[in-house]
Structure 1
Amino acid sequence: MMYGTDGCMWGGWGWSGWILMSAVMVLFSAALITAVVLTVRYLAGSDTERNRADSAASFRSEDALAQRFAQGDIDADEFRRRMTLLRESQESR
């Protein structure tokens, strides 16, 4: 037969076997969930970095425009018109 001397199937470990099996399953589940979360964050992180780069570029564009206005290369109307166009293009992305 497959029963051990204590009457449990396959020799059995009693309660210690159940506790050990439960602990291993909890650790395995935690490791699996952590792996999934880290993978999603890694894949989503590339988009976040791209958005930060776009944002930095737009600030540089606005700074360059403000500098041209400060130097007198463009007048106030031209500055407002170009700033509006820059912000509209940022919103459409």
Structure 2
Amino acid sequence: MMWWDGNMGAWGYILMVVSFILFWGAIIAAIVVFARSMSGGNRRDGGGHSLGSAEQLLAERFARGEIDETEYSARLSALRRARGA
């Protein structure tokens, strides 16, 4: 019969630390995913704009008078060409 003296050894401690980190990492990741799914609405990821929001931004600049009609038309056609590419 084998007797266990309570010493896990180095591999036991390493496995315990790794499993502890993985467990809490999974808990934190689940909380983050849940929080992101519960926050609704339009969100910009990474500061980038999609082509739809780029067209909207361009229309807002035109409405404010920052750009004229020829520049608006030129940029709008460039955006639509980029969408097709």
Greater relative contact order (Cα 8 A, min sep 6): structure 1 or 2?
2
TM-score tier (shorter): 0.3 to 0.5
Q: What TM-score, normalized by structure 2, do the two folds share?
A: 0.42
Q: What TM-score, normalized by structure 1, do the two folds share?
A: 0.39
Structure with more of its chain in helix, by fraction: 1
Q: Return the index of the structure with the highest Cα Rg.
A: 1
